[in-house]
């Protein structure tokens, strides 16, 4: 016989070895040759574990996003008001935190790829991400309603809010602007409409 490697583990190892590289070079400027070199394997070997460049980039980015989601879950209960909780949910977009910048850059490129690929796993994963955020947001809103802070109609606005956030994000990129404050203002306006005044 011959050596049998744990394909799944090696896959993760290769991807894991390239986290930094991806953040540093971005998707477009990342070459398979570099990936192979960084992972300490031959170029051909990369293709024994991934069927194309998109797949390996996706593997790395998925890890990034899943980590970020875990982070969200771990921190979200520190927030007090409903609005604060909502804002924190969109922290990835709103945060001014420096170290996040490279992640944001890569995510921008990822979105770009997403818009021109037909890769089903990618679309599927994006749906999962939406669902993840969606469930948390729905919870937050439910709690707010139960606490008597906001009106029932807020439930119907969650969908639009999530889409608006993505819209602000994409337009900020597509037009070379910083729209964080505008998004916060928009949330303020929404809350003015749904908050129960005392």
Partner DNA sequence: TTATGAATGACCGACAGTCGGTCATTCATA
Partner DNA sequence: TATGAATGACCGACTGTCGGTCATTCATAA
Q: In angstroms, give the least distance from the CB of 67 to DNA.
A: 25
Q: Which of residues 34-93 bind a copy of itself (CB under 8 A)?
A: none
Q: Measured from the CB atom, is 44 or 148 closer to DNA?
A: 44
7, 47 Cβ separation under 8 angstroms: no
DSSP 153-197: GGGGGHHHHHHHHHHHHHHHHHTT---HHHHHHHHHHHHHHHB--
Work out the angle between the directed axes of helices 53-75 and 120-146 (0-180°, nearest 10): 10
From the list DNA, a copy of itself, none, partner contacted by residue 77 (C-beta under 5 to 8 A by kind): none
4 contributes a contact to DNA by CB under 7 A: yes
Helix (H, G, I), strand (E, B) or coil at 34: helix
* Spatial distance between the Cα atoms of 50 and 89, rounded to a whole number of angstroms: 33
Q: Pick the stretch among 37-45, 70-78, 120-128, 163-171 that binds DNA (CB under 7 A).
A: 37-45
Q: Measured from the CB atom, is 6 or 124 closer to a copy of itself?
A: 124
Q: Which of 96, 99, 29 is nearest to 57 (CA)?
A: 29
Contact flags string 146-185 toward DNA, x per CB under 7 A = ----------------------------------------
32 contributes a contact to DNA by CB under 7 A: yes
* Spatial distance between the Cα atoms of 20 and 165, rounded to a whole number of angstroms: 27
Task: Residue 94: count other Cβ atoms within 10 Å of its Cβ.
Answer: 18
149 contributes a contact to a copy of itself by CB under 8 A: no
Q: In angstroms, give the least distance from the CB of 90 to DNA.
A: 32
Q: Measured from the CB atom, is 53 or 108 closer to DNA?
A: 53
* Spatial distance between the Cα atoms of 187 and 85, rounded to a whole number of angstroms: 12
Q: Which of residues 40-99 bind DNA (CB under 7 A)?
A: 40-45, 47-48, 51-54
Q: Measured from the CB atom, is 47 or 191 closer to DNA?
A: 47
CB burial of residue 20 (10 Å; 0-12, 13-18, 19+): exposed
Binding region for DNA (CB under 7 A): 1-5, 7, 10, 29-33, 36, 40-45, 47-48, 51-54
């Amino acid at each position: 016989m011959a050596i049998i490697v744990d394909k799944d583990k090696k896959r993760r190892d290769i991807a894991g070895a390239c986290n930094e590289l991806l953040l540093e070079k971005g998707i477009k400027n990342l070459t398979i040759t570099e990936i192979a070199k960084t992972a300490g394997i031959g170029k051909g070997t990369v293709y024994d574990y991934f069927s194309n460049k998109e797949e390996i980039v996706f593997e790395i980015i998925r890890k990034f996003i899943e980590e970020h989601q875990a982070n969200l879950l771990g921190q979200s209960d520190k927030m007090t008001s409903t609005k604060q909780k909502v804002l924190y949910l969109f922290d990835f977009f709103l945060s001014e935190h420096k170290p996040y910048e490279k992640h944001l850059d890569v995510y921008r490129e990822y979105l770009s790829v997403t818009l021109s690929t037909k890769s089903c796993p990618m679309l599927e994963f994006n749906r999962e991400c939406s669902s993840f955020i969606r469930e948390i947001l729905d919870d937050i809103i439910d709690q707010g309603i139960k606490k008597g802070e906001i009106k029932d109609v807020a439930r119907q606005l969650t969908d639009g809010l999530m889409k608006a956030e993505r819209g602000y994000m994409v337009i900020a990129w597509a037009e070379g602007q910083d729209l964080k404050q505008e998004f916060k203002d928009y949330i303020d306006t929404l809350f003015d409409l749904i908050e129960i005044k005392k």
